[in-house]
Structure 1
Amino acid sequence: MTLLDVDGLTVRTADGRTLVDDLSFRIDAGERLGLIGESGSGKSLTTLALLGLLPDGMRAEGSVTLAGTQVVGAAEKQLTAVRGRRAAVVFQEPLTALDPLMRVGRQIAEPLGRRTGLKGRQLRSAVGEALDRVRLPEPGRIARAFPHEISGGQRQRVALAMALACEPDLLIADEPTTALDVSVQAEVLDLLDTLVRERGMAVLFVSHDLAVVAKIADRALVLKDGRAVEEGPVLDVIGTPTAEYTRTLVAGARKLEAALDLRSAR
């Protein structure tokens, strides 16, 4: 069953400049798609357009059908019904995505309470279980903390717990590990892979890191200047790229990996 169907998506600024150009792809239930491209390629704008969250001054054209709802041109009431329950997003920097003035537990309790109808002690218990599920130690302490009082890796796990609270059909992960150090990044990726597999969710994983995408995604779509240049099974796209731009990305990634291996061997 097709969960997300994007057809001719175009994003323009108020002065008519095209940032995403005639983009088409689909994600079936339970499928994992990696959206690859360097900074400025249109990846994040694409994810925002999928949920009707484009910044003021930008407009989307074309068609985005998410779980049967047409997102482009939809009223806010329609979009509110889709966000969270049908699709949820985890952004690159959770410190900006989380409310700095609200304790972590309360931020998780809001979507969890809307979905389950739980209140009081039962809701607090469910929040603790949600934090435990994303492998956070001392969930009671974390629930009482404000976002700035916990580490970056812990904040990203909190953001993941919030996204999963409504048990969405599609998880959109926009560079979710870029701001983390390598060891924490590996832990979060392993956690994400485990949770997605257990719940059978579809994933749109956005990243410029080819190695990370290869660990998470089944298929890959490569963007350059807002246009799709290549799409296919992720191992084919990375192993035997056909587009010149993709070959450049792969060569750059291999050169960096070789340099890191050489440095660690010294």
Structure 2
Amino acid sequence: MSLLDISALTVRAGAKTLVDGVTFSLDAGERVGIIGESGSGKSVTSLAALGLLPDALTATGSVRLDGSEVVGRSDAALRPLRGPVAQIVFQEPLTALDPLMRVGRQIAEPLRRHLGLRGAALREAVSRALAEVALPDARIARSFPFELSGGQRQRVAIAIALAARPRLLVADEPTTALDVTVQAGVLDLLETLVRERGMGLLFISHDLAVVSRMVERIVVMQGGVVVEEGPVTQIVGAPRHPYTAALVESARVLDSALDAGGSE
């Protein structure tokens, strides 16, 4: 049984269809990427996978997370799955984190709720969680999100997402809001943690180079529809769909421009 199994998923906002008949699966420990331009439906698909769609959107079809149906279930019914089974890291940590709560308390919440930790054990677990994301300074736990840099906030968001040891991590454009240097460090961190923990990874991005680095298989979306799916080597080396070919060509042109700039 797949850890995540999406079948004929369709998401609508009133009469407008945002995602149309999306079907793919992700096995335990597998790393899958979704790539596409803005408005392609990739982020909507990732939210639907965890039952996090806004009230204005409606989903039909099937999303099974570790065998449990997500579509049509209440938020309360899905809450036990978010943490031990799957968790998400969003693009902008400043909006994802609670601005009025110190980050140590935000990391402690899933540890308390899902692992039942209290007292000294909870404090030690928070310290370990921060150390795992390369934030060993004790002052970080006492800080509010606005007191941290963008890279530090995203590392805190990753620590919160991984606190309950999920089997699947959904990363929705997790480095887009960061500068290039910080982005590389966060990607290295995610890559290491996913590998060491043997987690499944669903990585969403518009950047083919980043996706190719992070995953084994790519799902290409355009206009809410999956237009191609396959191993990274096939998608990059022998794309079948014109849209995929255009993405690959754009990435190559950008690489060539960066190489030329660096040689001057």
Tell me if both proteins adopt one fold, taking TM over 0.5 as the criterion: yes
Deviation track 1:9-42 (CA, whole Å, cap 9, x = no partner) reads 000012x111100000000000000001011100
One-letter code of the match for 2:65? L
Structure 1 equivalent of residue 198 of structure 2: 200
Structure 1 equivalent of residue 5 of structure 2: 5
Shift of 1:137: 3.9
Name the CA distance, whole Å, in 2 between partners of 1:40 and 1:171: 22
Q: What is the TM-score with the length of structure 2 in the denominator?
A: 0.98
Structure 2 equivalent of residue 89 of structure 1: 88
Name the CA distance, whole Å, in 2 between partners of 1:130 and 1:63: 34
1:154 aligns with 2:165: no
1:110 aligns with 2:109: yes
Deviation track 1:69-96 (CA, whole Å, cap 9, x = no partner) reads 1000012222111112111000000000
Structure 2 equivalent of residue 30 of structure 1: 29
One-letter code of the match for 1:53? L
Shift of 1:162: 0.4
Q: Once structures 1 and 2 are overlaid, which stretch shifts more, 221-230 or 78-87?
A: 78-87
One-letter code of the match for 1:7? S
Deviation track 1:76-122 (CA, whole Å, cap 9, x = no partner) reads 22211111211100000000000000000000000011222221222
Q: 1:61-210 residue pairs with structure 2 within 5 A?
A: 61-138=60-137, 140-210=138-208
Runs of 5+ consecutive residues of structure 1 not aligned to the other structure: none
- 2:92 and 2:177 in contact (8 A); partners too: yes
- 2:127 and 2:136 in contact (8 A); partners too: no
Structure 2 equivalent of residue 19 of structure 1: 18
Name the CA distance, whole Å, in 2 between partners of 1:35 and 1:213: 8
Deviation track 1:144-180 (CA, whole Å, cap 9, x = no partner) reads 0000101100111000000000111110000001111
Structure 2 equivalent of residue 239 of structure 1: 237
The count of residues paired between Structure 1 and Structure 2 equals 264
Deviation track 1:215-260 (CA, whole Å, cap 9, x = no partner) reads 1101000000000010000121012111000011111111111111
1:251 aligns with 2:252: no
Name the CA distance, whole Å, in 1 between partners of 2:64 and 2:203: 18
Q: What is the TM-score with the length of structure 1 in the denominator?
A: 0.97
The secondary structure found in structure 2 opposite 1:39 is: coil
Name the CA distance, whole Å, in 1 between partners of 2:155 and 2:108: 15
Q: 1:22-61 residue pairs with structure 2 within 5 A?
A: 22-61=21-60
Q: Once structures 1 and 2 are overlaid, which stretch shifts more, 154-163 or 73-82?
A: 73-82
Name the CA distance, whole Å, in 2 between partners of 1:174 and 1:185: 14
Deviation track 1:164-211 (CA, whole Å, cap 9, x = no partner) reads 001111100000011111111111111111111111100000011111
Name the CA distance, whole Å, in 1 between partners of 2:233 and 2:186: 22
- 2:83 and 2:114 in contact (8 A); partners too: no
1:229 aligns with 2:227: yes
Shift of 1:265: 1.7
Name the CA distance, whole Å, in 2 between partners of 1:188 and 1:64: 29
The share of aligned pairs that are identical, in percent, is: 62
Q: Once structures 1 and 2 are overlaid, which stretch shifts more, 100-109 or 46-55?
A: 46-55
One-letter code of the match for 1:90? V
One-letter code of the match for 1:175? E
Name the CA distance, whole Å, in 1 between partners of 2:80 and 2:123: 24
- 2:32 and 2:218 in contact (8 A); partners too: yes
The secondary structure found in structure 2 opposite 1:2 is: coil
